[in-house]
């Protein structure tokens, strides 16, 4: 679980110094902090929100929130965790305000197939789809499923943090993640099937 | 292939596998899984598949294909530049307003004097041309609001275009200051009563005079404007500028070269006023000796006009008695109108009231009084009514837009707060009734007069803005999709239109209007409360 993979590297001492400068109102330090983390937050928003414009707006708004709320950040905890928490709360609020969430807040497990997945099929999916296609497939998932995957596998958030952000019980996070994976597998399989059908149709 | 064909009790399901891989199982459970995997090919294959899927997902999601867009390269400045923008906006609006008043309005005035008054669309559209002068306060306010709106939108648009903020502020600020300089050249003397204030006879104040006192008496002369907050004000001296007064009792016995604007319980004028008089008062008495050179505009419980008014008369009154002369037209809305024997009404008189006007036989009328009984409720058959509704919608929409663009976060907060219907209605009702009471108490204790007036003003603004917040919430309920400013503007427009239509329903409309006001004020209060309370740490 290496958060620095997405957020660029700034060692702890540097970060602590920059944060205290920002708190003291240093505009350069704020610029430095922003440069360091804005790309990661932008990509994070880009994966969660449907339109590029939305992601850009959200990034700006998140950093304004960060600047306002920086006083409440507990420096004994990892900064990136806090940053992603602010960002995910913001994105989730934005999505919720759109009210197009299809999935319900129930904890039903019925939607999960009982059988183990076919490892061969999983491997094929992984080989056939580029990361771009995965992200396109991700965009087709219901908001909450997409949130769960991005929070976990992009932002490396803990189950507790995810549960808190999405307002679900912690025990339900695993189910949510797995269901989201299933939905993504289905979406990707469908897209490759339709692609095959198309190219097959052309050939005949 | 599927392990379900061979349903061993010890096979675990996919969720357990995922939780195991992600380190979310308790120790005992995890040990059991580890032990099982060692001996079960199917389950270990499942774990491998899930693990490789995790890696694949992580790589796909973190793959860095997209550079940060140019508009996000610089850190957002609004956190600290917020006040800068407000100042720039204010200066810009003030500058434009000065520009308007200094150049555009005089040009229009010149044109209308030259016979082009029909060309003034705003005039023709919004006001009765004949009562133009009496409404200039109102006109200024409308213009100011319109200009502020335009200024706000322009600044918002420019902000998107030019990321460099500081130079614009300075340029605008300098421009506005330059425009503001001439009117600001005159300074003002500020006097605080201890508790009373008297300007002795023979003394002359060369500047504007601003007084806050318990009892105020102006026996000397004031070269500029006289602005007074006082329980009682008596002016015996000569005021060369305007008189602006707030108080319980105002008496003007000395000549005034400018306008008189008063908000007072009782007003008596017995001198010559060169320009216009605007009063909001319980009782107005215009003495026989009084002469008003311009128009007289008033909202009053009862008025006796024994003096001379050279311009138009616009009156909303409980009862109105005219026993003096009116040089121009009169528009009167009153319960009772008495035209005394010494009255002389040279222009047209339009009177709306419950009773027929009582006209003495000696009164001289330029034309017969046009009398109309007040209509009960709106006249749905008139096109004007609908046009007026559209105007009202437009005004509230612009106002909402202003809030939305200047304080988007706060706007969203109020929308959310409006969703909490119960608390919003409760707080709304409380503040709707408690605020004016508190403000009046503040006004009575003389120290708090300005606080009270500001409070009442804010309260009025809150009442007006209520529809915006409820409208936005309603719009969100009706149009469910879209984020960003465009969608929010759409929601606002639709929501306000729906409210406007609902309030047009006979009888129920008034009730709906009332509920909207309470609800909106409640949302405003809740949102303000949210802003003011200490921030809860985001990382719980």
How large a percentage of chain B has pLDDT more than 70?
A: 71
Omega within 30 of 0 (cis) for the link into B195: yes
Given pLDDT bands bounded at 50, 70 and 90, which one contains residue B196?
Answer: confident
pLDDT band for A199, please (50, 70, 90 cuts).
low
Task: Please tell me the predicted confidence (pLDDT) of residue B245.
Answer: 85
Q: What is the pLDDT of residue A152?
A: 93
- Does residue B185 register a pLDDT over 70? no
For residue A94, list chain B residues with Cβ-Cβ distance below 8 A: 483
Question: What is the structure's pLDDT at B534?
Answer: 47
Cβ-count burial of B370 within 10 angstroms (0-12 exposed, 13-18 middle, 19+ buried)?
exposed
- Checking if the pLDDT of B12 tops 50, the result is yes
**One CATH from 3.40.50.720, 1.20.120.420, 2.115.10.20, 1.10.10.10 for A119-203:** 1.10.10.10
Q: How confident is the model at residue B167 (pLDDT cuts 50, 70, 90)?
A: low
A162-191: average pLDDT: 89
Cβ contact A109–B76 (<8 Å): no
B4:A114 CB<8 A: yes
Pairwise CB contact (< 8 Å): B75 & A31: yes
Residues 139-178 of A with CB under 8 A from B: 149-150, 153-154, 159, 164, 174-175, 177-178
- pLDDT for A84: 92
Closest CA to B401 of B499, B471, B483, B502: B471
- DSSP code, position B73: S
- Give A95 to chain B, closest Cα distance, Å: 8
B chain contacts of residue A2, beta-carbon cutoff 8 Å:
none
Number of cross-chain residue pairs from A and B with Cβ atoms under 8 Å apart: 162
Instruction: Write out pLDDT tens, residues B422-466.
Output: 888 888 888 887 777 777 776 665 556 677 777 888 888 888 889
Nearest to A43 among B42, B66, B540 (CB): B66
DSSP type of residue B133: G
- Res A203: pLDDT: 44
Q: Out of B4, B480, B537, name the one closest to residue A74 (CB).
A: B537
What per-residue confidence (pLDDT) applies to B251? 93
- Does B13 contact A150 at a Cβ distance shorter than 8 Å? no
Domain ranges of chain A: 4-98, 119-203
Nearest to B24 among A59, A109, A159 (CB): A159
**Helix, strand, or coil here: B222?**
strand
CA-derived radius of gyration, chain A: 19
Chain B residues lying within 8 Å of A5, measured CB to CB: 62
The residue-averaged pLDDT of B200-219 equals 87
Nearest CA in chain B to A113: B14
Q: Give the per-residue pLDDT at B108.
A: 59
Name the residue with higher pLDDT: B137 or A147: A147
Per the CB < 8 A criterion, the answer to whether B205 and B187 are in contact is no
Is pLDDT larger for residue B435 or for residue A134? A134
Polymer length of chain B: 540
* pLDDT at residue B182, rounded to an integer: 43
Closest CA to A176 of A191, A190, A159, A161: A159
Which distant-in-sequence residues (6+ apart) come within 8 Å of B407 by Cβ? none
CB < 8 Å from B in window 49-88 of A: 49, 51-54, 56-57, 59-61, 63-65, 67-69, 71-74, 77, 81-82, 85-86
Q: Cα(B36)–Cα(B15) distance, rounded to whole angstroms?
A: 15
Give whichever of A119-128, B88-97, B443-452 has the largest mean pLDDT: A119-128
Structure tokens at B518: 């309470």
Q: ipTM of this model?
A: 0.86
- Find chain B residues with C-beta within 8 A of A67's C-beta: 76, 79-80
pLDDT at B449: 65
Strands (E) in B196-295, as ranges, are: 197-199, 204-205, 208-218, 221-222, 226-235, 243-252, 260-269, 272-273, 277-286, 291-292
Report pLDDT for B166. Answer: 52
Query: Which of B37, B83, B480, B539 would best serve as a mutation to test chain A binding (most A beta carbons within 10 A)?
Result: B539
In this complex, do A68 and B2 lie within 8 Å of one another by their Cβ atoms?
Answer: no
**Stretch among A100-104, B22-26, B301-305, B530-534 having the lowest mean pLDDT:** A100-104
The residues in A 113-132 lying below 8 A from B, measured between CB atoms, are 114-119, 122-123, 126, 129, 131-132
Cα-to-chain-centroid distance, residue A41: 10
d(CA B205, CA B220): 8
CB–CB contact B76 A39 (8 Å): no
Who among A46, A63, A82 is closest to B539 (CB)?
A82
Contact A179/B at CB under 8 A: no
Query: Where are chain B's structural domains?
Result: 3-62, 81-184, 193-372, 383-532
Taking contacts as CB-CB distances below 8 angstroms, the residues of chain A near B4 are 114-116
Distance in Å, alpha carbon of A110 to nearest chain B alpha carbon: 12
**Banded pLDDT at A149 (limits 50, 70, 90):** very high
pLDDT band at B110 (very low <50, low <70, confident <90, very high): low
Verify whether the Cβ–Cβ distance A94 to B57 is below 8 Å: no
Determine the average pLDDT of the residues in B122-150. Answer: 47
Report how far residue B80's alpha carbon sits from residue B231's, in angstroms, rounded to the nearest whole number. 42
Rounded-to-integer distance, Cα B511 and Cα B516, Å: 9
With CA atoms as reference, the chain B residue closest to A2 would be B58
Whole-number average pLDDT of chain B: 76
Residue in chain A closest to B11 (alpha carbons) equals A116
Between residues B27 and B4, the one the model is more confident about: B27
Sorting pLDDT into bands at 50, 70 and 90, what band is A132? confident
- What confidence tier does B1 reach under pLDDT thresholds 50, 70, 90? very low
Statement: residue B131 has pLDDT above 70 = no
Least confident range from A102-106, A189-193, B319-323, B365-369: namely A102-106
| A25, A100, A174 ranked by CB distance to B18: nearest | A174
Pick the CATH number of A4-98 from 3.30.300.250, 1.10.540.10, 1.10.1740.10, 2.60.40.1180: 1.10.1740.10
How does pLDDT run across A26-82, given as a tens digit for each residue?
888 888 888 889 888 999 998 998 777 788 888 988 998 888 888 888 888 888 889
Give the closest of A27, A85, A122 to B538, CB-based. A85
Give the model's pLDDT for residue B2. 41
The answer to whether B143 and B100 are in contact (CB under 8 A) is yes
d(CA B176, CA B93): 8
What are the tens digits of pLDDT across the range B488-521?
788 888 888 998 888 888 888 888 988 999 899 9
Residue B270: predicted pLDDT: 93
Q: CB of A184 within 8 A of CB of A137? A: yes
pLDDT at B295 over 80: yes
The pLDDT value given to residue B254: 93
* pLDDT above 60 for B524: yes
CB contact under 8 A, A98 and B482: yes
Among A26-35, B141-150, B184-193, B529-538, where is mean pLDDT lowest?
B529-538
pLDDT band at A5 (very low <50, low <70, confident <90, very high): low
How much is the pTM?
A: 0.43
Structure tokens at A119: 């490892």
- Write the pLDDT tens digit of every residue in B151-165: 666 666 555 444 445
């Amino acid at each position: 679980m290496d958060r620095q993979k997405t957020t660029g590297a700034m060692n702890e001492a540097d970060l602590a110094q920059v944060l205290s400068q920002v708190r003291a109102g240093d505009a350069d330090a704020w610029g430095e902090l922003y440069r360091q983390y804005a790309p990661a937050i932008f990509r994070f928003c880009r994966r969660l929100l449907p339109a590029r414009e939305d992601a850009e707006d959200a990034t700006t708004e998140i950093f304004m929130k960060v600047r306002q709320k920086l006083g409440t950040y507990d420096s004994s905890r990892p900064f990136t965790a806090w940053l992603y928490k602010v960002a995910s709360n913001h994105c989730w609020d934005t999505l919720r305000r759109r009210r197009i969430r299809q999935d319900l807040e129930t904890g039903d497990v019925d939607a999960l197939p009982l059988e183990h997945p076919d490892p061969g099929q999983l491997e094929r999916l992984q080989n056939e789809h580029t990361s771009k296609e995965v992200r396109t497939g991700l965009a087709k998932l219901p908001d909450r499923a997409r949130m769960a995957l991005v929070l976990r596998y992009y932002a490396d958030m803990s189950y507790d943090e995810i549960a808190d952000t999405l307002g679900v019980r912690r025990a339900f996070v695993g189910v949510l993640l797995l269901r989201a994976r299933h939905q993504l597998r289905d979406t990707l399989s469908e897209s490759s099937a339709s692609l095959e059908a198309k190219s097959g149709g052309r050939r005949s | 292939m599927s392990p379900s064909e061979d349903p061993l009790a010890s096979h675990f399901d996919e969720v357990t596998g995922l939780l195991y891989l992600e380190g979310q199982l308790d120790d005992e459970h995890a040990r059991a899984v580890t032990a099982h995997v060692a001996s079960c090919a199917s389950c270990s294959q499942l774990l491998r598949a899930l693990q490789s899927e995790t890696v694949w997902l992580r790589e796909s999601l973190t793959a860095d294909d997209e550079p940060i867009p140019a508009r996000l390269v610089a850190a957002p400045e609004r956190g600290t530049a917020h006040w800068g923008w407000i100042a720039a906006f204010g200066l810009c609006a003030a500058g434009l307003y000065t520009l308007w008043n200094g150049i555009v309005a005089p040009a229009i005035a010149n044109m209308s004097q030259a016979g082009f008054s029909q060309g003034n669309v705003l005039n023709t559209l919004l006001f009765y041309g004949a009562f133009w002068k009496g409404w200039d306060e109102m006109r200024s306010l409308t213009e100011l609001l319109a200009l502020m709106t335009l200024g706000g939108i322009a600044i918002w648009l420019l902000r998107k275009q030019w990321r460099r903020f500081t130079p614009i502020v300075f340029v605008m600020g300098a421009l506005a200051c330059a425009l503001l300089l001439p009117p600001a050249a005159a300074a003002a003397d500020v006097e605080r009563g201890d508790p009373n204030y008297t300007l002795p006879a023979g003394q002359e104040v060369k500047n504007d005079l601003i007084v806050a006192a318990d009892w105020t008496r102006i026996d000397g002369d004031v070269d500029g404007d006289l602005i007074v907050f006082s329980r009682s004000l008596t002016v015996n001296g000569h005021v060369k500028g305007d008189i602006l007064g707030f108080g319980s009792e105002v008496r003007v016995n000395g000549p005034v070269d400018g306008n008189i604007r008063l908000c007072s319980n009782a007003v008596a004028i017995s001198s010559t006023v060169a320009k216009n008089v605007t009063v909001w008062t319980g009782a107005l008495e215009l003495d026989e000796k009084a002469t008003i050179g311009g128009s007289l505009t008033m909202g009053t419980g009862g008025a006796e006009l024994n003096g001379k008014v050279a311009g138009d008369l616009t009156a909303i009154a409980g009862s109105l008695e005219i026993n003096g002369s009116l040089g121009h037209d009169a528009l009167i809305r009153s319960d009772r109108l008495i035209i005394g024997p010494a009255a002389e009404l040279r222009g047209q008189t339009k009177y709306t009231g419950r009773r027929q006007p009582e006209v003495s036989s000696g009164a001289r009328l330029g034309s017969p009084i046009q009398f109309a009984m007040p209509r009960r409720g709106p006249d749905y058959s008139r096109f004007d009514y609908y046009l007026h509704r559209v105007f009202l919608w437009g005004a509230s929409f612009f106002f909402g837009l202003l809030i939305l663009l200047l304080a988007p976060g706060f706007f969203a907060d109020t929308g959310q707060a409006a969703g909490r219907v119960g608390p919003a209605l409760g707080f709304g009702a409380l503040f709707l009734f408690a605020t004016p009471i508190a403000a009046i108490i503040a006004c009575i204790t003389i120290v708090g007069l300005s606080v009270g007036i500001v409070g009442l003003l804010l309260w009025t603004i809150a009442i007006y803005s209520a529809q915006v917040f409820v409208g936005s919430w309603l719009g969100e309920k009706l149009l469910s999709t879209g984020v960003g400013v465009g969608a929010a503007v759409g929601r606002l427009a639709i929501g306000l239109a729906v409210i406007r239509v609902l309030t047009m329903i006979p009888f129920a409309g008034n009730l709906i209007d009332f509920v909207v006001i309470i609800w909106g004020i409640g949302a405003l209060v809740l949102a303000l409360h949210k802003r003011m309370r200490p921030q809860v740490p985001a990382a719980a």
